[in-house]
Every structure is written in C-alpha cells, then in structure tokens.
Chain A
Amino acid sequence: MERFTVGIVVFPGSNCDRDVSWALEACLDIKTKYLWHESSDLGGVDAIVLPGGFSYGDYLRCGAIARFSPLINALHDFVKSGRRVLGICNGFQILTESGFLPGALVANKNLNFICDDVELDVISSKGGWLNNEHQKKGIKLPIAHGEGRYHCDSDTLKKLIDNELISIRYRNNPNGSTFDIAGITNEQGNVFGLMPHPERACDENIGGIDGLYTLKSLIRH
C-alpha cells in the first residue's frame, strides 16, 4: 500500500509550507508532498494543508486571488470525496474566500500584526481535529496575523453554534473576532480552518506540543 501522503499547497507568497512539512515529516513521520498552486492533479495525496503566508501578497483581500488557482478549483471535488483539508492562517483565509467555510477574516481590531501565544478553549471536536482531553484543558498555540478577525453575520453565527462547527475560541480575544472564534469546521467536519499555527507547536523545545494532535489527525480518519 502507498504511504499516506499529505499535500502541502504552495502559493507565491506562502511562507509556512516548510514549517508544516517539518512538523509532519520530522515530528510525526508523515510523508508530505509540495503542491504548486497551478497544479490541479490531487491524485497522489490523501489530505491537504493550506499553509500560512501571504498568497499573492494579500492583494485585494487575503486569500482572494488564491481562490482562483487551478488547485483550489480541484479542491472542491477533493473535499466532496470526504478527504481532509486543514487551512492554517492564510489557509483559513483562503478557505473562507473560496466558500469552503463560512464568514470572512478582516483586519485585527487594533490594527496590530499580533505575534503571540494564545490560550484557546476547545469547544467542539467535530471532525476529530481535537479531542476530549483538549476540551477539558484547552490548548495553547502561537498566532501571527494582521487580518485574523473572524467576522460573520448573526444567522451564520447561530448556524455555527447550533451545528457545533466552532472548534476553538480565544480565551482572551486578541483581534476582535466575532464570538472569540479562532477556528471552525465545515458541516461534514473534514475541512478545518484556524488562525493559530499548530505546526509551530510540535516540539517541546520551541513552544509546546499542543499542535501535534491536529496535524496527526490529518491521517486519523
């Protein structure tokens, strides 16, 4: 059997692609493969990560141009097939711009680019991206974003709450996000987008290991 392979999408301006690769390969022994955004062939991969960065220089709006790449077009069928997609930071922005996840990410309330560790309450383990243990204790992950304020209208928020699609919430909301939202899943649970960076929390020596489980769960289902 072929080894389970996680595709890491590379856009012009992605800058966390190698961090994700390191976290998966070196910390979790999961095979990875870079996917240039112009490729639409997702045949060889079993799960996909949209990494952080500044795809297309954040021109127009974060994630707005990336949405039109051939790879994101192909992602629609990939998601429909039930395979798993994790969008981190800019990857989360791309997932909302492309309509895979509801809402939008806009400039932080205080306009600062915030680079910090944040405490997160785990609200739902839908999709298996997090577990009961996390729900009891919460997790700590780094954030690094200027446009991470999650925004949605009240109908969407109600839908998110009623369907348990909110995975993580900030304990001390750093950016003004609606309902302290830091990460959400789609209704099927196979798409997870979050502003914090789990790939930067995969080794005790550099800031904890609270991100390991989420990355590992790319192959758990």
Chain B
Amino acid sequence: MDQFSVKVFIRLRPSVLDPAGEATKSASNKLGVEGIKSLRIGKMIEVKIESETENDVREKIDLLCDRLFANTVIEDYEYSIETI
C-alpha cells in the first residue's frame, strides 16, 4: 500500500455570485492594494489516503468530490495527488 497526499480545491462556479469574495475585495482596496480585478473565495481540503495505485485514489477522490466535498450545482473542483 502506498500513501498519497491529495489537495482538493473547491471553487464557486463562475456564474455564482461570491459575496464573501466581493467583501474581501473591497477590504483589499481599503488596505490600499490596487488593481485587483477579481477575488473569489474557495475551499481547500487536504486528504491523506492509503491505496494500491494512484488510479484507485483518483476514483475515491472523484466520488468524494462529486458526492460530498462539492455541490456541483454551485461548485467546481480540481485536485492534485502526490505520493508520500
């Protein structure tokens, strides 16, 4: 069995308004940082998982993302896998 470290990034779909991102963008301007065109807030989930192969991990993470981590009505996801 190999150990894998997976980083899952979950983002609101571009069509979904992100009021928390908008508020943070506005605060960034107040901090004096100019030129921010867009600021959107997502989630990052770190998973350490034991599995036979990387493909195996992929299958499990796909299921987790699709059914639990993200709501695909409003969110997109992507992930990266590293062998530990």
Contacts and interface: CB of A to CB of B under 8 A. Distances in A.
B68 A64 contact: yes
Interface in B58-84: 68-69, 71, 73-74
Contacts of A107: 19-20
Contacts, number: 34
Contact of B15 (A102, A110, A153): A153
Interface of B: 12, 15-17, 19-20, 23, 68-69, 71, 73-74
A106 interface: yes
Contacts of B19: 107-111, 176
Interface string A59-93: 01100100010000000000000000000000000
Interface of A: 60-61, 64, 68, 96-97, 102-104, 106-111, 149, 151-153, 176
Q: Which 10 A-B pairs have the closest CB atoms?
A: A104-B73, A104-B74, A111-B19, A104-B71, A109-B19, A107-B19, A61-B71, A151-B74, A106-B74, A151-B16
Contacts of A60: 68-69
Contact of B23 (A64, A111, A152): A111
A64 B17 contact: no
Contacts of A106: 12, 16, 74
